[in-house]
Copies of this chain bind each other. A is one copy, B any other.
Amino acid sequence: MTTSGPGEATIGDVAREAGVSVSTVSYALSGKRPISEATRQRIQSAVDRLGYRPHAGARALASRRTHVLALVAPLRVDVNVSVILQFVAGVVTRARSHDLDVLLLTNDDPHSLDRVASGSMVDAAIVMDVEREDPRLPELRAMRQPAVLIGLPDDPGPLACVDLDFVSVGRQAVAHLAAAGRRRIGLIGAAPTVLARRTSFAERLMRGYGEAVARLDAPALAVAAQGSRGGGISAVTELLEREPALDALVVHNELAVPGVVEALRRAGREDVALVLVCPADLVGSVPVDCDWIEVPGARIGEIAVDMVTAQLAGATGPEVRLLEPTVRAHRLNP
């Protein structure tokens, strides 16, 4: 007697084993029509006995659903990997809870999304690292499958978007510091390459910041910083030169944070108030008291999946969702 491993049995084998027709097995498994409890059980035990697993390709061919989501993720050096991975983790976890798997596309091949979409490898797509005038937008709009952007292009058209409201992040950071009496508020922004790509979040934060300091009649003191310790040091040095009376800093560059802290210490300027914009796991390693605004990567990834599944289910709700940020305190000795 031959015991074949799992994945060998077909729906026909199950049907024979259970003494029913293939359609009955199919319906029993999908629940798309009522099946008597007795047959349901016979089928289930046949499935277990044979280790039956539906063949994904056959199912996709017949039903036109793959149960796979494309995740277009950047993996660019200048974007903080821990942020990326938070988004990815959120997407993958939530996708599984919707019974979807995730096909990971990195950006090295600009047409890979087109390839997998028109090859019917995926039911939908989630796109990260969106630029203000993202070159992928035409492709995305032409897709049969729904897509959700993580980020906010200038003209999303009918595409669904979700992100932290970075304009509000900039405003709130400034407002929070102003409320604490600060008026010389600098901004250390994303890496020059990130800004050069006109990455949507980087510019939006800067816009919010710019508006807010203007309303305060405070000087706009924004610099881009390389995502490194050295980048943080240079940025602080430059800002202190431009404005020696600097009394606060908004830092939107996770990798530069250690350098920023170090430079302030060396300059004897621990009095400069800090608002960090970063993921939750990063703030824990910051060695000074400060305030921070969370970039909730995992949460945004989850929402993106929820939006995409809603679209798959035919819903047509609000197209753009921006999460409201909150300023929180980070204290070494609570």
Which residues of A come within 8 Å of B, CB atoms? 5-8, 51, 53-61, 66, 68, 71, 75, 77, 81-82, 84-85, 88-89, 92-93, 96, 101-106, 108-109, 112, 114-121, 142, 144, 228-230, 255, 258, 281, 284-285, 287
Contact = CB atoms under 8 A, between A and B. Distances in A.
B81 A85 contact: yes
19 contacts: A6-B114, A6-B118, A7-B117, A7-B120, A7-B144, A51-B118, A56-B57, A56-B120, A57-B58, A60-B60, A71-B104, A75-B85, A75-B92, A92-B104, A92-B105, A96-B112, A101-B121, A103-B104, A255-B285
Contacts of A114: 6
Contacts of A115: 53
Nearest to A96: B109
Nearest to A93: B108
A121 B105 CA distance: 16
Nearest to A92: B106
Contacts of A89: 75, 106
A57 to B, nearest CB: 3
B88 A56 contact: no
A205 to B, nearest CB: 22
Contacts of A71: 104
A228 to B, nearest CB: 5
Given A7-B117, A104-B88, A56 B60 contact: yes
Contacts of A142: 5-6
A287 B142 CA distance: 49
A92 B144 CA distance: 25
B116 A101 contact: yes
A103 B105 contact: no
B117 A93 contact: no
